[in-house]
């Protein structure tokens, strides 16, 4: 026998799902694997093994360097942050020692972290990635890395500098945050 929920429960569920999900709702209780973009929840999709490997390598390398040179700072994946108009989950974020404890108390960053890496997936559109990078920079981020695992290419942008491109055979270095960090592109994509 199939049981159905009482009508008052169904009405309550229907009312709950018809309420708009605001940016404040997203920041307070972000659904897994979702971003809040232009008033809608958008699922982050298209991540591949190469995407995951690049994400893992960046987090590991930033954390190793931070532990030795900037104790108390932390690189992490999928940290919920608020930009000027959206709720995002950058693939990799770095919080320096002065911000890490504050953000951990809030469970989300009230602005874009100072150093972000967004890793391109096969389903991403270039225009959207570049727009997202500018969005981060306009909301407190100081440096953005756009990472293209298939091409083994990283593009870096700061507010003051135009895009810099790094590819196989070159060494990439942070520009503004986690100062002094550098790594060979080939090592990062190994």
pLDDT at 63: 98
pLDDT digits (tens, 9 = 90+) for 14-66: 445 556 788 898 888 888 888 899 988 988 887 889 999 999 999 999 999 99
- If one compares 6 and 33, the residue with the highest pLDDT of the two is 33
pLDDT at 110: 93
Per-domain residue ranges for the chain? Answer: 46-188
pLDDT digits (tens, 9 = 90+) for 140-176: 999 999 999 999 999 999 999 999 999 999 999 999 9
We find that the CATH architecture of domain 46-188 is: Alpha-Beta Complex (3.90)
Backbone Cα Rg of the chain: 19
- Collect contacts of 128-135 with beta carbons under 8 A, ≥24 apart: 132/88, 133/157, 135/83, 135/84, 135/85, 135/86, 135/88
> What is residue 31's DSSP assignment?
P
């Amino acid at each position: 026998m199939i049981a159905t929920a009482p009508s008052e429960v169904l009405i309550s569920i229907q009312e709950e799902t018809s309420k708009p999900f605001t940016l404040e709702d997203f920041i307070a209780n972000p659904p897994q694997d979702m971003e809040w973009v232009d008033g809608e929840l958008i699922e982050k999709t298209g991540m591949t093994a190469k995407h995951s490997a690049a994400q893992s390598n960046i987090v590991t390398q930033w954390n190793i360097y931070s532990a030795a040179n900037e104790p108390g700072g932390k690189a992490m994946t999928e940290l919920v942050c608020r930009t000027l108009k959206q709720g995002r989950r950058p693939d990799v974020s770095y919080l320096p020692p002065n911000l890490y404890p504050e953000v951990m108390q809030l469970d989300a960053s009230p602005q874009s972290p100072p150093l972000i890496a967004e890793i391109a997936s096969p389903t991403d559109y270039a225009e959207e990635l570049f727009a997202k990078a500018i969005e981060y920079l306009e909301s407190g981020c100081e440096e953005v890395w756009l990472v293209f695992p298939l091409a083994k290419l990283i593009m870096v942008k700061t507010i003051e500098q135009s895009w810099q491109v790094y590819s196989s055979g070159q060494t990439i270095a942070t520009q503004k945050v986690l100062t002094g960090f550098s790594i060979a592109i080939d090592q990062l994509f190994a």
